[in-house]
Amino acid sequence: MQISDEGYIVKILRHGENSLIVTLLSIAHGKITGFIKSAASKKKLGVYQLGNKVSFNAYARLDNHMPQLKGVELLKSNVAHVLSNSYKLALLSSFCELFNACLPENEPLEGLIRSISLFMDHLESKMWLQNYAISEFRLLYFLGIGLDLGSCVVTGSIENLAFVSPKSGRAVCYEVGKTYENKLFKYPHFAINKHINPTLEDVLDLLKMNEFFLKKNFFDAHGLKFPKSRANLLKILSQMKEENA
C-alpha cells in the first residue's frame, strides 16, 4: 500500500521513546492508523494534536500491515481554536473519540467527510456546536442507522412534522405526537434544512437524539462501550446553556 492524502488527527498514542501511532480521518481513504518515527519531539509538538489537519504519505508492504506515515505536514491547526474554550475542547474530544470508535479502517467516508470537514475546519465560527450536532446526525446515516424523517409514521403526512419516535426512528406530526411530547424527541428541522437557524435548545435536542440512537443501534448492538467524552458532553453543554440563560 502506498497513498498520499490529507486528513484530521483523531487519536494519538506514544510508541517507545519518541515515536507515535496516529489515527487520521483522511479525505479520500477513510480512517487510517499509522506509525510515525521520531515524531514526539518539541519541533513536531504543534503538528501532532487532535483535530489538526495534515497532509501525509502512507506506506505498507502488505495491505494488512500497519502503514508507516511519512512526510506529515501541518495544513491547519484546528486545535488552536479550542484551547481557550473549555466547551469547544470538550466537543473536539468527543468528536475524535466518537468518530474513531464508530468508523472502520480503510473504508472511504463518502459524503460523511464533508460534515467532518465542516466541523473541523470551522471551529472558530459561530456555528461550531451546530456543525458538530449535524456531523453526528450524518454519522447515523453512514452507519446504516439513519432515521426516516420524511413523513409521519402514523398519518403519512409530510406537514407539521414535530417529533421523532425513539421506538421506530420515524417522524411524528404535531397533531399525533403532542399528547406524548415528553416521550418523543424534537424533530431536527435545522439538520434537514440548512437554511433554518437553530436555537441552543434545538441543538441540544438533536445531540440527545443522536446519543440515544448511537447507543441503541450501534454501541449496544455491537457490545461496545459508549465513549466517555461523548457520554459527558451533554452535562458539560448544559453548563454552557445555564451561562447563556
What is the domain extent for residue 145?
A: 82-244
pLDDT value, residue 17: 78
Is residue 122 predicted with pLDDT exceeding 90? yes
Choosing from 79, 111, 139, the residue where a domain stops is 79
pLDDT value, residue 159: 95
Regarding whether 94 and 11 lie in a shared domain, the answer is no
**25: confidence class by pLDDT, cuts 50, 70, 90:** very high
Regarding whether 158 and 219 lie in a shared domain, the answer is yes
pLDDT value, residue 211: 97
Is residue 41 predicted with pLDDT exceeding 80? no
Average pLDDT over residues 209-217: 97
Residue 234 CA to residue 230 CA, distance in Å, equals 8
Is residue 39 predicted with pLDDT exceeding 80? no
pLDDT value, residue 64: 73
Predicted TM-score (pTM) of the model is: 0.94
Regarding whether 141 and 20 lie in a shared domain, the answer is no
Phi, psi of 92 (to 5 degrees): -65, -40
Regarding whether 130 and 75 lie in a shared domain, the answer is no
Residue 76 CA to residue 90 CA, distance in Å, equals 19
Q: Which triple of cell numbers denotes residue 189?
A: 428541522
Is residue 110 predicted with pLDDT exceeding 90? no
pLDDT value, residue 152: 97
